């Protein structure tokens, strides 16, 4: 039912009169055939191509795996753009900025999201030689991108989303940190400060930190003052997030091609300029057999999914040639998971437990190992990614894809699969979800319902559910034994420290980054946020997003504003 509403809203194709012309099953066939068509390019005969199409269909129709939304929406269309994640360069000239703006519009139109590092733009007030005027600075140019995004979304397949990044040492950093201070401003951007080891070093030593551009130091500020300024804004509005630039570049698989400076809108996909990446997620709620993880099924799903994602790189129509070239050079894909909280419910493991952290590391380690095995197999059939001999894998590990794993938010596809999103704890055991700004759906967590059915007679079940409907949690429900109550906790009942440790457990075995919101209660202080920032750095995370209850109004499902 929910699945149907979500699919009808945006995914199922329509005719010119706006009538839906395909069923979900037909949609999965459309996607499966379009993606399997790649197989023919590597010499498969039509029977083999059809067999792969069938296999991909089964993978999606069973909801064991789903690709990112643009693949579901655009596959099979002439010129269909299938990737969710892009990073574009922003160079310091009017021509370059507006060229990037145009490319951004093309990407948004197709349902992709864009990330930018604005640090190459000269600071506000700097001279502009050709005109004798002064520069507007990165934040002003971001406003133009924000406004363009607002307009393009009218005709696009979904609301365009951007990630705006500025290095912590850029002279305009204070203005950047404050640019979303007012609710509604820059609303088509998530923002992150790109922090460095140098900055954390200055912070730890309580030293002044130089803000510089083009080799010149503009001024120095106490590192603590800047840190506290970032913390105060994150505490008040949930933004900015942090991007740990050095951690990201330590994991850059192709340093010879350049440093990574930015991520896609939700932060899970660091990319080089012009690279794009298509994502897909395994539905963990379906990888269960007799109360334990069904490792054999997971292995098969992961291997097929990697083939699927590599085929997507092959059949994708890229919006501009530079993106096609950069993407085909590294062939990055991002396989992740959804339904993690549901899996823990099914296995009866509390989210905030050492057992859950251990399983997270084991599970993601398994997925990465299997994904690499599949990519290696593809490399032997199709060749390595072209930049392989310049990568960290050379010469020992021939791979078809420079990265394989990413944990996406799965904001939409988890709704299609009817499971908890990404690796987040459930937001509530029951809640109403507004889809496409119109329909309201009552969603009750399925593993929780199954647990009730297995353990309580109907009358008692009804009473428990009625209590749960009130605020989405087990607060005030006395029927469940304490050990079971500990399992069915919601996001805000789980201490921030556990959110963070879970992100770290998944990050360990993830090539790219992890989308995760660290939920804080409304009463959390700035000191709490500061402690989380420091802990995230110490844990070696690549990025961080905090969200304090009530700090932003427009907050769908506790995900970053634009996702
Ligand atoms: O569930 P779905 O495949 O639709 O997407 P997601 O996992 O919630 O988000 C994955 C990525 O898609 C984001 O990080 C963005 O790069 C992109 N995205 C976007 O551009 N615009 C949106 N409204 C949502 C997601």
- For ligand 1, is residue 412 a contact (CB within 6 Å)? yes
What is each CA distance from 31 to 28, 54, 254, 308, in whole angstroms?
A: 5, 11, 31, 10
Q: What is the pLDDT of residue 562?
A: 37
Residue of the CA atom closest to atom 18 of ligand 1: 113
158 C-alpha to center of ligand 1: Å? 10
Residue of the CA atom closest to atom 20 of ligand 1: 113
Q: How close are the terminal C-alpha atoms of the chain, in Å?
A: 22
- For ligand 1, is residue 108 a contact (CB within 6 Å)? no
114 C-alpha to center of ligand 1: Å? 10
Note if 266 is an active site residue.
yes
**Does the pLDDT at position 563 exceed 80?**
no
pLDDT, tens only, 111-147:
999 999 999 999 999 999 888 899 999 999 999 999 9
Q: What is the pLDDT of residue 561?
A: 34
Kind plus residue range of the DSSP H or E element containing 377 = helix 354-382
pLDDT, tens only, 367-385:
999 999 999 999 999 999 9
Provide mean pLDDT across the span 315-323: 97
pLDDT, tens only, 235-251:
999 999 999 999 999 99
Provide mean pLDDT across the span 448-467: 96
Residue of the CA atom closest to atom 12 of ligand 1: 84
Q: What is the pLDDT of residue 131?
A: 83
Contacts of 387 (CB under 8 A, 6+ apart): 254, 256, 257, 329, 330, 402
Which one from 68, 264, 283, 512 is the annotated catalytic residue?
Answer: 264
Does a cis peptide bond (omega within 30 degrees of 0) precede residue 395?
A: yes
Residue 9 DSSP label: I
Note if 314 is an active site residue.
no
What is each CA distance from 350 to 200, 203, 230, 285, 426, in whole angstroms?
A: 33, 36, 33, 15, 12
410 C-alpha to center of ligand 1: Å? 7
**Does the pLDDT at position 264 exceed 50?**
yes
Residue of the CA atom closest to atom 7 of ligand 1: 410
% of the chain exceeding 70 in pLDDT: 96
Provide mean pLDDT across the span 160-168: 97
367 C-alpha to center of ligand 1: Å? 21
pLDDT, tens only, 513-539:
999 999 999 999 999 999 999 999 999
Select from 107, 408, 410 the residue to mutate for testing ligand 1; criterion: most ligand atoms less than 8 Å from CB.
Answer: 408
Alpha-carbon torsion 252, 253, 259, 262, what sign? negative
- For ligand 1, is residue 334 a contact (CB within 6 Å)? no
Residue of the CA atom closest to atom 21 of ligand 1: 161
Provide mean pLDDT across the span 51-71: 98
pTM higher than the cut 0.90 = yes
Which one from 268, 275, 370, 424 is the annotated catalytic residue?
Answer: 268
pLDDT, tens only, 402-419:
999 999 999 999 999 999
Contacts of 415 (CB under 8 A, 6+ apart): 2, 3, 6, 421, 433, 435
Note if 264 is an active site residue.
yes
Q: What is the pLDDT of residue 442?
A: 80
Closest CA to 356 of 519, 550, 502, 523: 502
- For ligand 1, is residue 69 a contact (CB within 6 Å)? yes
- For ligand 1, is residue 265 a contact (CB within 6 Å)? yes
385 C-alpha to center of ligand 1: Å? 25
pLDDT, tens only, 322-377:
999 999 999 999 999 999 999 999 999 999 999 999 999 999 999 999 999 999 99
Residue of the CA atom closest to atom 19 of ligand 1: 113
Q: What is the pLDDT of residue 1?
A: 57
Tokens of 2: 């929910």
The rounded mean pLDDT for the chain is 95
What is each CA distance from 107 to 71, 86, 175, in whole angstroms?
A: 13, 8, 27
* Cα angle 107-111-115, degrees, rounded to a multiple of 5: 55
562 C-alpha to center of ligand 1: Å? 9
275 C-alpha to center of ligand 1: Å? 16
3-class SS string, 423-463: CCCCCCCEEEEEECCCEEEEEECHHHHHHHHHHCCHHHHHH
**Does the pLDDT at position 148 exceed 70?**
yes
9 C-alpha to center of ligand 1: Å? 16
Q: What is the pLDDT of residue 156?
A: 63
Residue of the CA atom closest to atom 24 of ligand 1: 563
Q: Which atom of ligand 1 is nearest to the CA of 159?
A: 23
Q: Which residues pair with 281 in a beta bridge?
A: 66, 336
Q: Which atom of ligand 1 is nearest to the CA of 66?
A: 3
Q: What is the pLDDT of residue 526?
A: 98
Q: How confident is the model at residue 558 (pLDDT cuts 50, 70, 90)?
A: very low
The string of DSSP codes covering 198-251 is HHHHHHHTT-EEEEEETTEEEEEEEHHHHHHHHHHHHHHHS--EEEEHHHHHHT
Q: Which atom of ligand 1 is nearest to the CA of 67?
A: 3
Does residue 363 sit in helix, strand or coil?
A: helix
**Does the pLDDT at position 556 exceed 70?**
no
- For ligand 1, is residue 113 a contact (CB within 6 Å)? yes
Q: Which atom of ligand 1 is nearest to the CA of 269?
A: 14
Closest CA to 83 of 72, 64, 70: 70
Q: What is the pLDDT of residue 129?
A: 84
Polymer length in residues for the chain: 563
Residue 256 DSSP label: G
Residue of the CA atom closest to atom 11 of ligand 1: 84
**Does the pLDDT at position 560 exceed 80?**
no
Provide mean pLDDT across the span 260-276: 98
Tokens of 34: 């379009």
Q: Which atom of ligand 1 is nearest to the CA of 85?
A: 16
Q: What is the CA radius of gyration of the chain?
A: 23
411 C-alpha to center of ligand 1: Å? 7
- For ligand 1, is residue 524 a contact (CB within 6 Å)? no
Topology of domain 85-263, per CATH?
A: Anaerobic Ribonucleotide-triphosphate Reductase Large Chain (3.20.70)
pLDDT, tens only, 193-210:
999 999 999 999 999 999
Which one from 266, 275, 283, 445 is the annotated catalytic residue?
Answer: 266
Q: What is the pLDDT of residue 433?
A: 74
Select from 409, 414, 516, 554 the residue to mutate for testing ligand 1; criterion: most ligand atoms less than 8 Å from CB.
Answer: 409
532 C-alpha to center of ligand 1: Å? 25
Q: How far apart are CA 11 and CA 96, in angstroms?
A: 34
| 116 φ/ψ sector (left φ>0, alpha ψ -120 to 50, else beta) | beta
Q: Give start-end residues of each CATH 3.20.70.20 domain in the chain.
A: 85-263
More confident residue, 555 or 476: 476
pLDDT, tens only, 279-295:
999 999 999 999 999 99
Provide mean pLDDT across the span 442-464: 95
Q: Which atom of ligand 1 is nearest to the CA of 515?
A: 14
Q: What is the pLDDT of residue 130?
A: 82
Select from 10, 68, 416, 557 the residue to mutate for testing ligand 1; criterion: most ligand atoms less than 8 Å from CB.
Answer: 68
Closest CA to 139 of 240, 266, 219, 275: 240
């Amino acid at each position: 039912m929910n699945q149907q509403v979500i699919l009808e809203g945006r995914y199922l194709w329509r005719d010119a009169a706006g009538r839906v012309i395909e069923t979900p099953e037909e949609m999965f066939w459309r996607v499966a055939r379009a993606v399997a068509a790649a197989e023919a390019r590597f010499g498969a005969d039509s029977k083999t191509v059809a067999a792969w199409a069938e296999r991909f269909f089964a993978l999606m129709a069973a909801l064991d795996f789903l690709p990112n939304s643009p693949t579901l929406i655009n596959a099979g269309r002439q010129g269909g753009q299938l990737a969710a994640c892009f990073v574009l360069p922003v160079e310091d000239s009017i021509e370059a900025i507006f060229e990037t703006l145009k490319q951004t519009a093309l990407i948004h139109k197709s349902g992709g999201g864009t990330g930018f590092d604005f640090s190459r733009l000269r600071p506000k007030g700097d001279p502009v030689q050709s005109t004798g005027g002064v520069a507007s600075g990165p934040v002003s140019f971001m406003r133009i991108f924000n406004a363009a995004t607002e307009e393009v979304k009218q005709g696009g397949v979904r609301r365009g989303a951007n990630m705006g990044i500025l290095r912590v040492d850029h002279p305009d950093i204070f203005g950047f940190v404050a640019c979303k201070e007012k609710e509604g401003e820059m609303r088509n951007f998530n923002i992150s400060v790109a922090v460095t080891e140098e900055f954390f070093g200055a912070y730890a030593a309580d030293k002044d930190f130089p803000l510089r551009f083009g080799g010149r130091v503009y001024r120095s500020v106490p590192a603590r003052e800047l840190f506290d300024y970032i913390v105060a804004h994150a505490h008040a509005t949930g933004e900015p997030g942090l991007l740990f630039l050095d951690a990201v570049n330590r994991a850059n698989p192709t340093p010879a091609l350049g440093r990574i400076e930015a991520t896609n809108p939700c932060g899970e996909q660091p990319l080089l300029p012009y690279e794009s990446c298509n994502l897909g997620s395994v539905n963990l709620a379906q990888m269960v057999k007799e109360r334990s993880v069904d490792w054999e099924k997971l292995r098969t799903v992961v291997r097929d999914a990697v083939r699927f994602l590599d085929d997507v790189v092959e059949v994708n129509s890229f919006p501009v040639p530079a993106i096609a070239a950069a993407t085909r050079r590294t062939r990055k894909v991002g396989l992740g998971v959804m339904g993690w909280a549901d899996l823990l419910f099914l296995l009866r493991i509390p989210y905030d437990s050492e057992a859950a952290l251990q399983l997270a590391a084991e599970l993601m380690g398994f997925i990465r190992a299997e994904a690499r095995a599949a990519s290696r197999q593809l490399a032997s059939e199709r060749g390595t990614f072209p930049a392989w001999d310049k990568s960290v894998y050379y010469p020992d590990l021939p791979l078809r894809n420079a990265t394989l794993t990413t944990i996406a938010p799965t904001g939409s596809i988890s709704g299609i699969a009817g499971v908890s999103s990404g690796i987040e704890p459930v937001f509530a055991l029951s809640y109403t979800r507004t889809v496409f700004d119109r329909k309201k759906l009552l969603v009750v967590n399925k593993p929780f319902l199954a647990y009730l059915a297995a353990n309580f007679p109907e009358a008692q079940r009804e009473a428990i559910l009625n209590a749960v409907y009130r605020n989405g949690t087990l607060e005030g429900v006395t029927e469940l034994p304490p050990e079971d109550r500990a399992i069915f906790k919601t996001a805000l009942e789980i201490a921030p420290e556990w959110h963070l440790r879970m992100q770290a457990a998944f990050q360990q075995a993830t090539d790219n980054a992890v989308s995760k919101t660290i939920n804080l209660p409304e009463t959390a202080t700035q000191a709490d946020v500061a402690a989380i920032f420091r802990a995230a750095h110490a844990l070696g995370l690549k990025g961080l997003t905090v969200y304090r209850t009530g700090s932003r109004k427009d907050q769908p499902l506790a995900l970053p504003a634009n996702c």
